[in-house]
Amino acid sequence: MLSETDLVIALSRMPVRSEARKRVRQVLEQSIDWDAVKRLATRWQVEPTVFGNLGSEFATAIPTEVRSEAAMLEQLSRAHAVSRTLLLMELVDSLAGAGIPAIVLKGPAIAIIGYDDCSRRTFGDADLLLRRDDLIRGRDFLLARGYTAHFHPARERAMIAGQSALEFSDSRSSVELHWTLVSRHLRFNLRVEDLWSRSQLIQCVGSEMRVLSPEHLFLYLCAHGAKHEWSSFRWICDIAQLAARLTPSQAGKVMELAAEANAKRLLALALRLAQEVFGEEPSPFPSSAFGDRRDTAALVSLVSGRLIHGKVDKGLLPPRIAGIHRYMEPLAFWLRSRERTRDQIACAAEFIFVPAAGDNSRNQLQRVFRPIRLAANAVRRLASAS
């Protein structure tokens, strides 16, 4: 591992762990490409923690010009996070004023619960959980405020039935409205009523924000990461940060939820990834939560290879198969992340036979044409490779 990579990893947690602190001091004794550190921290979206830790804990060990630039970059990234949070809170408060309660799923919810400060974690899209009966009112509310919908009106009913998010944006932000945590075909079923009954209010920039319980949030992030092939280093940081704040009782509840949702491998994968990146750390989870290493070894290796070592050409599927559809590789990753064969089969069948949520076609024959089209793409790919 390059010194610059090792340095960014060690500085990406709040607070810096004792073993990581030793590693940072060892790395700082070497010649450091500070531009590479800056680029990597920006690409991994961990500027508030990396530059904050660098300036507050290791200021005397870095050159003066680096110290000044680190302070500036920390200030800019934290200011950006706060400005995004203020926009989100204004929207949430306005929704509440219109009688539409919302749960903030990620973004500042993770920042406050996992990092103790909304400015210590940047975020992009705003993900809000509404009650299903409030989705249409939420849509109309956003449209009235000048947001643009990123889905065809003809697909709205099918998207809601399929538990897909409704996406909107204006000139300042993007918003996704959910009524469940993930799409129906992924078969990650946590009871919606429990999400609301166990949700909590926390303080955020002078207002109150409703968030998932720590247990629901943790397991949701495990599923969200796997859904997107753990393509963001920041998500692994979130898992490590949140795990360090769970009590053994809360960790036990996470394991119960994972068992109920048949998502024990999703949990094990997230824990293994955090362990792979940050090393062995005290954990509220018993060893059984980490599962059999053989079940997740290939996925852990794939993610760490892509994120840490830059192996962009490696995937679970041969390139000619992955090229059949842009979701083939993410689908393969998700299927490998699930322990039940019936869930794997159902998820694959839904992908083959059901048009995607964003498909704007009104043609009801899409259920027939979709598998034919996928099969034709497969034949074409295989023929061109032979």
Give me the percent of the chain exceeding a pLDDT of 90: 82
Question: CA 179 to CA 288: how far, in whole Å?
Answer: 32
Q: How confident is the model at residue 361 (pLDDT cuts 50, 70, 90)?
A: very low
As a whole number, the mean pLDDT across the chain is 91
Which CATH number is associated with domain 85-212? 3.30.460.40
pLDDT score recorded for residue 381: 55
Question: CA 23 to CA 217: how far, in whole Å?
Answer: 31
Q: How confident is the model at residue 160 (pLDDT cuts 50, 70, 90)?
A: very high
Which tens digit of pLDDT belongs to each residue from 200-239?
A: 999 999 899 999 999 999 999 999 999 999 999 999 999 9
Mapped onto helix, strand or coil, the DSSP state of residue 144 is: helix
Q: Which residues pair with 211 in a beta bridge?
A: 104, 200
Please provide the size of the chain in residues. Answer: 386
pLDDT score recorded for residue 384: 60
Residue-range domain boundaries for the chain: 1-62, 85-212, 230-314, 318-386
Taking the CB of residue 59, how many other CB atoms lie within 10 A of it?
13
pLDDT score recorded for residue 365: 47
Q: In what order do the strands lie in the sheet with 200-204?
A: 148-149, 166-169, 174-178, 126-129, 103-104, 207-211, 200-204
pTM: 0.92
Mean pLDDT of 312-326: 83
